[in-house]
Amino acid sequence: MVDKVLIATEKPFAESARNSMVKMFQEAGLEPVVLEKYTDPKDLLAAVADVSAMVIRSDKVTKDVLEAGKNLKLVVRAGAGYDNVDCASAKARNVIVENTPGQNANAVAELTIGMMVMIARAKYSGKSGTELKGKRLGVHALGNIGTIVASLGRAFGMDVCAFDPFLDQCVFDECCVGCITKIEDLYSTCDYVSVHIPATPETIKSINYALLSKMKKGAALINTARAEVIHEEELLKIMEDRPDIKYASDIAPKNSAAFMEKFADRVFFTPKKMGAQTAEANTNAGLAAARQIIAYLKEGKVLNQVNP
């Protein structure tokens, strides 16, 4: 019997990327099924029922979805963050979860710099702004995205430093960025702090009042990682107490209305998470996901597993 592969994207890939994925699956002798722009999670439960593998983006793969996928063997998150997948339940059901690290990093890094420019130029309101050149950029986590942000920041003439306790000094040296060993020092010395940490039990709400209160006068926090890593209530409070701080985020906080009402000039939120929303990133991540699914279903190869 031919294996079915589901491409489930509430926020679809660029058409060209999706069509290439469909073609790859067909040429590999698999049967692609596409579910896009669904609004009811029940549609995902129905679509996953008879597939062997699925490609997702930020789509939520809950215990229910995994239970509904009676034949499901592999979930590939076309992207980096897999906080939207219940990895423990997947493991319990022997479902492999993989991601495609680095494939959409450039797109996210470019959006990060774009948001910094937007904040520096008073949200393009016509008011006089400032330049990035000569300012200090602090990269909070020097992974695939943070590395590119650091390099783009240097190209803008910024003084770039980074905090990442999981890396050796040689990585900082290779990226030509200063190594900050205490997170407080990153927040207290930088004009822009760019967040690139994943959402994990340890990091959720970790950017809190105590840390934000260290921010340099007039500094901006740029978040193209996950809304959840910021302690939203405490961010609201510090922005009330510190009228100099600005915040730009790729996806709005839950209570975005309160932020917009109180600090319209000092905040910017994308309407939908759009860091990876480019044709190039969709092609890179989508085709990598398709290759990984074909490698597994045709050759039994497991690549980039995140729930070993």
**DSSP string for 236-251:** HHHHHH-TT-EEEESS
Q: Does the footprint of ligand 3PG cover residue 81 (CB under 6 A)? A: yes
Question: Is residue 227 near ligand 3PG by the rule CB under 6 A?
Answer: no
The one segment of 27-35, 79-87, 167-175, 241-249 that binds ligand 3PG by CB under 6 A: 79-87
Give the count of beta carbons closer than 10 Å to the beta carbon of residue 131: 12
Question: Which of residues 30, 48, 54, 57 is near ligand 3PG by CB under 6 A?
Answer: 57
Question: Any contact of residue 79 with ligand 3PG (CB under 6 A)?
Answer: yes
Residue 276 lies near ligand 3PG (rule: CB under 6 A) = yes
State how far the Cα of 287 lies from the Cα of 237, in Å rounded to an integer.
43
Q: In sequence order, what are the beta bridge partners of 137? A: 160, 192
In the complex, the smallest distance separating the C-beta of residue 116 from ligand 3PG, rounded to whole angstroms, is: 18
50: Cα separation from own chain's centroid? 29
At its nearest, how many Å lie between ligand 3PG and the CB of residue 58? 3
196 near ligand 3PG, rule: CB under 6 A: no
Provide the 8-state DSSP code for 37. Answer: S
* CA-wise closest residue to 194 among 247, 241, 144: 247
Q: How are beta strands 192-195 and 136-140 bridged, if at all?
A: parallel
Closest to ligand 3PG by CB, 11 vs 205, is: 11
Quote the least distance from Cβ 160 to ligand 3PG, whole Å.
22
- Looking at beta carbons only, is 69 or 81 nearer to ligand 3PG? 81
Position of minimal CB gap to ligand 3PG: 79
Q: How far apart (Å, rounded) are the C-alpha atoms in residues 254 and 73?
A: 34
Query: In the structure encoding, which two tokens stand for residue 207, read together?
Result: 């950017």
Would you count residue 275 as binding ligand 3PG (CB under 6 A)? Answer: yes
Does 273 help bind ligand 3PG (rule: CB under 6 A)?
Answer: yes
The stretch near ligand 3PG (CB under 6 A) out of 90-98, 158-166, 168-176, 272-280 is 272-280
Candidate ranges 112-120, 148-156, 180-188, 270-278; the one touching ligand 3PG (CB under 6 A): 270-278
> Nearer Cβ to ligand 3PG, position 79 or 178?
79
The residue type found at 36 is: E
Cβ 99 to ligand 3PG, closest distance in Å? 8
**Number of helical (H) and strand (E) elements in the chain, helices listed first:** 12, 12
- C-beta of residue 144 within 8 angstroms of C-beta of residue 151: no
Q: Single out the residue of 94, 4, 1, 105 nearest to residue 55, CA to CA.
A: 4
Provide the binding-site residues for ligand 3PG, judged by CB under 6 A.
11, 57-58, 79-81, 104, 273, 275-277
